[in-house]
Each structure stands twice: as structure tokens, then as C-alpha cells.
Structure 1
Amino acid sequence: MQPVVHLAVGYLCYAGYVRWRGGTSPGEGPALAAVFGAALPDLIDKPIWFVGVVDVGRTIGHSLLFAVPLVVLAWAVARSRGRELLGVAFAIGYLSHVATDVPWHVLSGDYHELGFLLWPITPMPEYTGTKPLGTVPGLEVTVTTLWLEAVILVAGVGLWWRHGRPGLEPIRRRVGR
């Protein structure tokens, strides 16, 4: 999944959690925590791959062996500071990232590419990229995972916009605008 789509998924998942808990839309801080959590696996893995420390872009940040202890720690720290909701939002964002990297491999039958889930115990082969999902009858147009990701991105941005763009104001204050 494209990195920006993970941000939308993290927001959508957290917004769904808020709605399920009886709220209407995420608050500023938790929205940022969810989006940051959704971005973090790539922020960890892509730089170390880019500089050649590892051979692929999904290793430690995408591994459940790292993710689970990290989200438990983040939740515990947030809870100890009376900000448990930030820990929940971070956990939802982070785990949504890892979870949404799974379906494309399953749908395409590339099960061997799921090695990132337990890396370094299981090997992570090179990612083969965008997956074909089928062909539109009569048009001979191949539908790929990018099509579905575009729909998810538009839905996430649309809901975030409808909710009043939570998380944007603290960023504006921080940069002085």
C-alpha cells in the first residue's frame, strides 16, 4: 500500500473507533496520534532500506515482533500520563498500517511476501509492487491495487475534511500560521 494511503486508513480506522464508542469525530491530538502511528512503520523501514542497511522496505517497523511491544508501550506511557486515548489512537494507526499491508498479498496469492509480519524470524523477499486484481469486462482494463487505494485515499480525506480536518490546527500553531 502506498504510504499516503496508510495515513487515510489510520484516520478511517480511528474515526470508526470514535464513532463506535459513541462520539462523532476524532479530536485534534488523537487524530494526529492515529496518523502518526499509521506513518511510523514506513518512517522506520524506508530510510534504513534506502541507505542499504536492509534489503527490503518492510522489516522491523512492519514486524509484529516490534509492533506489538511498541503499541503496548505507547499505550502504557499515554495511560500513565492520563492520555490513554492518545495511546489507543496510536495503536489503531500503527496496527492498521501493518494489517492493511496484508490483503494485497493474500488476494494475489503472494503469501511468501507476508514474511514481514514476523521478520527477522521469517524472511522478507523483495516486494513485487502493485498487484493486478482483475480485468474490467469489455474494456480490457486491468484493475490493480492502486485503484482500490485511490478509493480508500479519497474516502479518508473526505471523512477527515467532513470532520473539520482534526489534527491540522496543532500543526498550524506549531509552524506559526
Structure 2
Amino acid sequence: MQPIVHLAVGYLCYAGYVRWSEGTPPGERATVVAAVGAALPDLLDKPPWLLGHTVGRTIGHSLLFAVPLVLVGWLLARSSGRPPLGTAFAIGVVSHLATDVPWHVIAGDYDELGFLLWPITPMPPYSGTKPLATVGGVEVTTLWLEAVILVAGAALWWVDGRPGLGPIRRRSDG
């Protein structure tokens, strides 16, 4: 999944959770924390990959790193009296890892799921965009579905008042 789409998925998941549990749109700070969580696996793994050093999904995408990271984040948030921030972070990280799985399963590229337990399991090079179907002679790929997800996430974020931009708005007004 494209890195920007992970932000949309993270927002959709977090906004859905907040609406379900509180009946309101997400707040400023927690939205930023959820976005950081959703971006973190790629922020850790993509820079070395761009430099040609790894396959692009290693420590940041491994459950062996993510589970302890989420627990530490949740414990830190709880100890500072802000448990909702721990929940936001967990939803962001988990949404990222969960949405990197379906494309490989649909395409039958099960060996590419090695990232989930890296370094115990090997991670072959990522094969990229996956074909989903052919409709009217046009190949529909995972990028099409990712575009729909991105638009849905951006639309909900906009309708919710663009939470997370408050500090930027305040600085530009002052």
C-alpha cells in the first residue's frame, strides 16, 4: 500500500473507533498521534530501502517490533494520564500492518508476508502493485482500490473539520 494511503486508512479506522466509542469526530492531538502510528512503519523502513539497503519492509513492519512498540506507547500514554493517545497510536500502527496483508493474500504472494515476523522469516523483494481483475479490457489493480480509500479518508477528514491541523492553523493566524 502506498504510504499516503496508510494515513487515510489510519484516519478511517481511528475516526470509526472514536465515533463508535464516543459518538464524536476525533480530536486534534489524538488524530496526529494516530497519523504518526499509521506512518511509522514506512518512516522506519522506506528510507533505507530508497538507499538500496533493504527490501522496504523490515523492522517497522514486523510484529516482533510493532507489538512491543504499541504496548510501550500505550503504557506511556496511560502513565501520563492520556490513555486515548495510546489507543490512537495503537490503531494507527495496527491499521498500517493490517492493510499491508490483503494484497499479498489476494495475489497469492504468501511468501511476501514474511515481513510480519522479520527477521525470523525472510522477506523477499516486494513485487509491487497487484492486479485484481480486468473490467471491460482494463486491468484493475490495487492502486485503484487504494485511490478509493484515499479519497474516502480525505473526505471524512474534511467533513470532520480537518482534525490535526489546529496547531498549523494557529501558527499561520498568529
Q: TM-score, normalising length from structure 1?
A: 0.94
**137, 140, 143: which one aligns with 1:140:** 137
Cα offset, 1:121, TM superposition:
0.2
What secondary structure does 1:32 align onto?
helix
Letter in 2 for 1:80: S
Structure 1 unpaired stretches of 5+: none
Cα offset, 1:49, TM superposition:
2.0
Letter in 1 for 2:118: W
The answer to whether structure 1 residue 96 and structure 2 residue 95 are counterparts is: yes
Cα offset, 1:19, TM superposition:
1.1
Query: How many angstroms apart in 1 are the aligned matches of 2:51 and 2:169?
Result: 32
Q: Deviations over 1:79-117 (max 9, x none)?
A: 000111011001100110011000000000000000000
The residue that corresponds to 1:164 in the other structure is 161
Cα offset, 1:176, TM superposition:
7.0
Cα offset, 1:24, TM superposition:
1.6
The residue that corresponds to 2:66 in the other structure is 67
Q: TM-score, normalising length from structure 2?
A: 0.96
Q: 1:22-171 alignment to 2 at 5 Å? A: 22-53=22-53, 55-136=54-135, 139-171=136-168
Q: Percent of pairs identical after alignment?
A: 74
Letter in 1 for 2:2: Q
Q: Deviations over 1:53-80 (max 9, x none)?
A: 4x20000000000000000000100100
- Which 10-residue stretch deviates more, 69-78 or 17-26? 17-26
Q: CA RMSD in A?
A: 1.3
Query: How many angstroms apart in 2 are the aligned matches of 1:175 and 1:8?
Result: 24
Query: How many angstroms apart in 1 are the aligned matches of 2:75 and 2:38?
Result: 18
What secondary structure does 2:121 align onto?
coil
Q: Deviations over 1:148-173 (max 9, x none)?
A: 00000000000000000000112344
Query: How many angstroms apart in 2 are the aligned matches of 1:56 and 1:176?
Result: 43
Change (3 A) 1:52 1:176: farther
Query: How many angstroms apart in 2 are the aligned matches of 1:110 and 1:175?
Result: 47
Query: How many angstroms apart in 2 are the aligned matches of 1:123 and 1:173?
Result: 47
Letter in 2 for 1:152: I
Change (3 A) 1:40 1:175: farther
Cα offset, 1:13, TM superposition:
0.2
